[in-house]
Amino acid sequence: MRVLVTGATGFTGGHLARYLAARGHDVRALVRDVARADDLARAGIELVRGDLRDPSTFAPATTGVDVVYHIAALYRQAAISNAPYRDINATAVDRIVEAAARGGAKRVVHCSTVGVHGHVEHPPANEDAPLRPGDIYQVTKLEGEELARRAGDRVGIEVTIARPTGIYGPGDRRLL
């Protein structure tokens, strides 16, 4: 299978891209800075320079793939306004789904966050629990989910949304 992974220079996207490549999939990664992606290239991953804020860079990455794993996100950066969160975590999602459909993909897997549920009053919860995002990251991830669904319906591509909890493991430099 030919796949595109966004966010491959990050922790989760990088692990996913290397996992898929190690299992024989033809993996492509949309990266802003190719110099930060040497390890991906060594793993046999095709690097395509692009930026989520510039949809004109999406076509070389999305053309000819079967599935797009949209993992990239802006995650809790200090001292920045809300606008970059909306650009990356919401607006770019709509554009990636559209580009995936134009490029011939059959499916987009969009990575959101369990944080869209906020505080769960009566755990355990499932995906039907009330949505109460508590900060700009969670708010824009929820907006991204809504935009992904609408874009998928509009352009006729399957969209799957994952809401993982905190992700950590070998190589993590944020949580541990």
Look at residue 158 and tell me whether its pLDDT is greater than 90. yes
Where does the pLDDT of residue 76 fall: very low under 50, low under 70, confident under 90, or very high at 90 and above?
confident
Evaluate whether residue 128 is within a structural domain.
yes
Number of domains in the chain: 1
Look at residue 71 and tell me whether its pLDDT is greater than 80. yes
Evaluate whether residue 170 is within a structural domain.
no
Query: Can you state the percent helix, strand and coil of the chain, rounding each to 5?
Result: 40, 20, 40
pLDDT tens-digit readout, 4-24: 999 999 999 999 999 999 999
- The structure tokens listed for 28 are 């492509």
For a pLDDT cut of 90, what percent of the chain falls above it? Answer: 79
50-54, long-range: CB within 8 Å, 24+ apart, which pairs?
A: 52/6, 52/87, 52/88, 52/92, 52/95, 52/96, 53/87, 53/88, 53/92
Quote the pTM value. 0.94
Where does the pLDDT of residue 176 fall: very low under 50, low under 70, confident under 90, or very high at 90 and above?
low
Evaluate whether residue 33 is within a structural domain.
yes
pLDDT score for 104: 98
- Amino acid identity at 13: G
Let me know the angle formed at the C-alpha of 144 by 8 and 20, rounded to the nearest 5 degrees: 25
Evaluate whether residue 24 is within a structural domain.
yes
H-only helix segments in the chain = 11-22, 38-42, 59-62, 82-86, 92-103, 136-155
Q: Which residue has the higher pLDDT, 166 or 87?
A: 87
Where does the pLDDT of residue 121 fall: very low under 50, low under 70, confident under 90, or very high at 90 and above?
confident
The domain in which residue 149 lies consists of 2-162
pLDDT score for 163: 94
pLDDT score for 80: 83
CATH of the domain at 92: 3.40.50.720
Strand partners, 159: 108
